Amino acid sequence: MPTSNINELLSAALASGQLLVTDGALELKPGASKKLKDYVATGLGADGAGTIADRFRRGDRWRVPLDEIYDIENNTSYAAILRVLARAEIKKAWERAGGPHARVGLPLDASFPIREAAPGTWVMDCRGGQIQFLQNDRQTVEVLQRKTTVRLVAIECQVRQESSDEVYGVVSVHGPANQMIQTVRIPGSGTLNMGEPGARLTFPALPIVTDSTLEDLYIRVAWIENDSGNVEDIARKVAEKMQQAAAAAAGALLGAGAESVAASQNETFYEAALWIVGDVLGMGDDAYPVEGRYISAGELLAGSGPPLQAPYKRGDDPRTVEKWTHDIYVQGVDDGGDLGRYRFFFDVTRTDTHDVRVI
């Protein structure tokens, strides 16, 4: 039987429950098809391995310890069996590591393909690294190779609403694959005074996500001009609303499905976030429309990660925004008809590492 057909047969048998990898053995259930039984008997009976085939035939439940299969000298039949078993071991190990919450994140391919990187070393490539099955050691390991960090580097007041704006807000980072949602208040308390000469730039240098799983990311900014509202109460409620809107975007989903839904529901987030503009106004302050930026896992994986942009310098400020990769503009008009516009500079980096742990 061609290897591709063997793989298809074994994969289908595993998916249907006719073939199980359980309790350290490969097991055929009583209802297994005659075709599958014939293949196992023929395949495992080849090359002097008749005793293993005999063990499969014993009783109603055909069963053989994995150690005996792994120790068989490779041929076409055994290679197909080993690939299916290795894939099952790797998938179980990834799920033990947390599945979508694993440090290595999602597989590069949703079909969970594996490859033999070296004799006896089977690998599933993930966004943040690999899950490996070491056949000779009967061991699975997680190899963390890539992590993500998001920092707010600087904020620029391009157009002020007042002679000096008293502003504050919330920045959120959302990773739908594992439902990671981080929100940070800016500044930590009170407001920033921006807009006067020499006060057009501020440098929070604030980490929002540090050494996180590599995945699709949504960075969003809710920016508010203080008028007469309680800034602490408003900031807390805005952060809560942003978390709720992000969580609702993909519901209870995780993984690639959550990313797909989050992408299709991105506008729904902003519709939900319109609460911020209306309700904050009702609480005495003026909110800018929420704005955001999508950064794909593919962009983070490409090359050495997102490229640095050219340093930015204003003509009226001696300071320079040195290290940044992405920016977000927010613009709005307050209830007095005054236009305001701000620019937020972010540094989104991929850090390469090498951290191995048995799972």
Longest dimension (CA), the chain: 89
Q: Tokens representing 340?
A: 């305001």
Q: Tokens representing 51?
A: 């005793």
Does pLDDT of 82 surpass 80? no
pLDDT tens digits, 18-75: 777 666 667 777 667 777 766 666 555 443 344 444 555 554 456 666 666 655 554 4
Q: What is the mean pLDDT of the chain?
A: 82
What is the C-alpha separation between 192 and 356, in angstroms, rounded? 44
pLDDT for 337 equals: 85
pLDDT for 75 equals: 47
pTM for the whole structure? 0.81
pLDDT for 191 equals: 96
Q: Tokens representing 218?
A: 């949504």
What is the C-alpha separation between 359 and 45, in angstroms, rounded? 33
pLDDT for 184 equals: 96
pLDDT tens digits, 270-325: 555 555 555 655 677 888 988 999 999 999 999 999 999 999 999 888 899 999 99
CA nearest neighbour of 351 among 188, 212, 207, 196 = 212
pLDDT tens digits, 238-263: 898 888 877 776 666 677 777 776 67
pLDDT for 265 equals: 62
Task: Give the pLDDT band (50/70/90) at residue 326.
Answer: very high
| DSSP line for 119-131 | TTEEEEEETTEEE
pLDDT for 210 equals: 96
CA 245 to chain centre: 18
pLDDT tens digits, 139-189: 999 999 999 999 999 999 999 988 889 999 999 999 989 889 999 999 999
What is the C-alpha separation between 263 and 267, in angstroms, rounded? 9
* pLDDT: which is higher, 3 or 92: 92
What is the C-alpha separation between 106 and 97, in angstroms, rounded? 11
pLDDT tens digits, 95-117: 999 999 999 999 999 888 999 99
Phi, psi of 256 (to 5 degrees): -60, -35
pLDDT for 206 equals: 94
pLDDT for 281 equals: 55
Give, as one character, the DSSP assignment of residue 290. Answer: P
Exposure class string for 244-282: b at 16+ Cβ within 10 A, else e: ebbeebbeebbbbebbebbeebeeebeebbebbbeebbe
pLDDT for 49 equals: 41
